[in-house]
């Protein structure tokens, strides 16, 4: 697989200009870009530039309404329900988390649940927003159904990620993960790389183990059965019902609290309907927040310093890899795989942007057919 390296600023310019061309304001385009690029900077390749094509398709099909503004339809001092009116997921979610943070700062904690939104990028971005303000942040989203519940053969829940971030030194705790074994984005990457999936990730339309990424992805879109396995495997022996349970936790905070669509009803008949859930907790409601941060930092260091497994080089705490990747990529640039660059070039053509100006004079001979064609 060949990669092209771009600086953060290059990708930011491309991305901001593209979203402005789609009709978003400059501020909006910058907000969306900030979410997408944090993913690439953190090394979560599945949720950054490589997702552009899906946002484009969403806007083109009318699933994502560029002019929509989120509306608070119910609220208390500790909660809000927001109707996203089918707007851009990132913009709705930034507003929702800002609301949760504001309420948590005043009332100690708050939950904001969102309906009628769209894909919001990485959940961790919003958990981090709260953490950056000294709070404990939680962010979740449902999605098009891809998780096959234990003993079923039809995807009924989304990848349903849960992200949690909490202040600590020298870097915060930052946990962001799907409640499936892996995300759909990971399957998309394996598909782009034409690599077979590892065992234990996915099921075919009959509910049997399957390592063909293309087949699984097509089945998900076609709602033909099969999909991705819950965290813990497709059996109870190794705890698959637990991943399914965390998927349900996500669904409760997103679709159930908000009165929106559960994953199995989103993305049907020209409707999106993605739902999100956000929570912020001020650590000061438990006493001395600074002391808590210090104790938490000590615990994280104890974990990193614990005896390593034979052959292991390092024990990570959650978020450490992202911090390391970020330091490297901001300095040395971000590698974007050639197929994703091909999609970015096609997007330039679609939006009448000069692709050579934004992306350079790239040799695309190593690229697979673009997802656009």
Q: Which residues contact 115 (CB under 8 A, 6 or more apart)?
A: 81, 82, 83, 84, 255, 258, 259, 260, 261, 273, 275
Distance, first Cα to last Cα, the chain: 20
Query: Can you tell me the distance from the alpha carbon of 291 to that of 287, in angstroms, rounded to the nearest whole number?
Result: 9
Query: Can you tell me the distance from the alpha carbon of 198 to that of 184, in angstroms, rounded to the nearest whole number?
Result: 14
Q: Which stretch binds a second copy (CB under 8 A): 13-21, 30-38, 293-301, 355-363?
A: 293-301
Coil, helix or strand at residue 359: helix
Q: Which stretch binds a second copy (CB under 8 A): 8-16, 119-127, 234-242, 360-368?
A: 234-242
58 binds a second copy (CB under 8 A): no
Q: Which residues contact 265 (CB under 8 A, 6 or more apart)?
A: 273
Query: Out of 10, 177, 211, 370, which residue is the one contacting a second copy (CB under 8 A)?
Result: 177
Query: Out of 66, 248, 323, 324, which residue is the one contacting a second copy (CB under 8 A)?
Result: 248
Q: 130, 33, 83: which is closest to 255 by C-alpha?
A: 83
Query: Can you tell me the distance from the alpha carbon of 64 to that of 81, in angstroms, rounded to the nearest whole number?
Result: 20
Site track 23-42 with a second copy (rule: CB under 8 A), x = hit: --------------------
Helix H or strand E segment including 177: strand 173-177
* DSSP summary character for residue 46: G
Judged by CB under 8 A, the number of residues near a second copy is 82
6 binds a second copy (CB under 8 A): no
Query: Can you tell me the distance from the alpha carbon of 190 to that of 228, in angstroms, rounded to the nearest whole number?
Result: 14
Q: Which stretch binds a second copy (CB under 8 A): 3-11, 151-159, 342-350, 351-359?
A: 151-159
Query: Out of 57, 61, 69, 308, which residue is the one contacting a second copy (CB under 8 A)?
Result: 308
Closest distance to a second copy from the beta carbon of 131 (Å)? 12
Q: Which stretch binds a second copy (CB under 8 A): 23-31, 36-44, 59-67, 153-161?
A: 153-161
Between 315 and 366, whose beta carbon lies closer to a second copy? 315
278 binds a second copy (CB under 8 A): no
Query: Out of 242, 301, 350, 364, which residue is the one contacting a second copy (CB under 8 A)?
Result: 242
Interface of this chain with a second copy, residues 68 to 127, rule: CB under 8 A: 74, 76-79, 81, 107-109, 111, 113
Q: Which stretch binds a second copy (CB under 8 A): 33-41, 84-92, 174-182, 355-363?
A: 174-182
Q: 279, 254, 278, 272: which is closest to 116 by C-alpha?
A: 272
22 binds a second copy (CB under 8 A): no
Query: Out of 5, 61, 69, 295, which residue is the one contacting a second copy (CB under 8 A)?
Result: 295
Q: 4, 91, 47, 38: which is closest to 358 by C-alpha?
A: 4
Interface of this chain with a second copy, residues 332 to 351, rule: CB under 8 A: none
Closest distance to a second copy from the beta carbon of 40 (Å)? 20
Query: Out of 43, 134, 209, 245, which residue is the one contacting a second copy (CB under 8 A)?
Result: 245
Query: Out of 12, 215, 241, 368, which residue is the one contacting a second copy (CB under 8 A)?
Result: 241
Query: Can you tell me the distance from the alpha carbon of 291 to that of 197, in angstroms, rounded to the nearest whole number?
Result: 45
Query: Can you tell me the distance from the alpha carbon of 355 to that of 336, in angstroms, rounded to the nearest whole number?
Result: 15
Q: 305, 321, 297: which is closest to 172 by C-alpha?
A: 297
Coil, helix or strand at residue 70: coil
Query: Out of 1, 256, 323, 324, which residue is the one contacting a second copy (CB under 8 A)?
Result: 256
* DSSP summary character for residue 182: S
CA atoms within 13 A on the CB side of 230: 27
Closest distance to a second copy from the beta carbon of 232 (Å)? 5
Query: Out of 312, 331, 361, 373, which residue is the one contacting a second copy (CB under 8 A)?
Result: 312
Query: Out of 3, 8, 171, 175, which residue is the one contacting a second copy (CB under 8 A)?
Result: 175
């Amino acid at each position: 697989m060949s990669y092209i390296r771009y600086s953060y600023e290059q990708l930011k310019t491309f991305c901001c200009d593209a979203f402005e061309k789609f009709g978003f304001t400059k501020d909006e385009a910058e907000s969306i870009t900030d979410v997408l690029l944090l993913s690439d900077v953190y090394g979560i390749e599945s949720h950054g530039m490589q997702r552009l094509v899906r946002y484009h398709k969403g806007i083109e099909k009318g699933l994502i309404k560029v002019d929509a503004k989120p509306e608070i339809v119910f609220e208390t001092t500790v909660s809000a329900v927001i109707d996203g009116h089918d707007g851009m997921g990132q913009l709705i979610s930034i507003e929702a988390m800002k609301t949760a943070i504001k309420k948590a700062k005043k009332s100690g904690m708050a939950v904001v649940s969102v309906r009628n939104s769209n894909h919001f990028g990485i959940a961790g971005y919003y958990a981090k927003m709260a953490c950056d303000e000294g709070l404990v942040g939680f962010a979740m989203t449902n999605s098009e159904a891809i998780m096959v519940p234990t003993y079923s053969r039809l995807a009924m829940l989304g990848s349903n990620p849960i992200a949690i971030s909490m202040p600590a030194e020298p870097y915060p705790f930052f946990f962001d993960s799907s409640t499936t074994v892996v995300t759909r984005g990971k399957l998309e990457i394996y598909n782009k790389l034409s690599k077979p999936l590892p065992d234990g990730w996915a099921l075919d339309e009959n509910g049997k183990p399957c390592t063909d990424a293309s087949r699984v992805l097509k089945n998900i879109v076609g709602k033909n059965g099969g999909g991705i396995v819950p965290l813990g495997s497709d059996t109870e022996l190794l705890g698959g019902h637990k991943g399914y349970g965390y998927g349900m936790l996500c669904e409760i905070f997103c679709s159930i609290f908000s009165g929106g669509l559960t994953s199995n009803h989103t993305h049907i008949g020209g409707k999106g309907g993605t739902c999100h859930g956000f929570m912020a907790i001020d650590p000061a409601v438990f006493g001395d927040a600074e002391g808590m941060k210090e104790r938490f930092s000590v615990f994280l260091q104890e974990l990193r310093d614990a005896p390593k497994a034979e052959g292991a080089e390092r024990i990570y705490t959650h978020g450490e890899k992202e911090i390391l990747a970020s330091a490297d990529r901001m300095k040395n640039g971000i590698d974007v795989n050639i197929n994703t660059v091909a999609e970015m070039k096609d997007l330039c053509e679609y939006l009448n942007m000069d692709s050579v100006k934004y992306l350079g004079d790239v040799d695309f001979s190593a690229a697979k057919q673009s997802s656009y064609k």
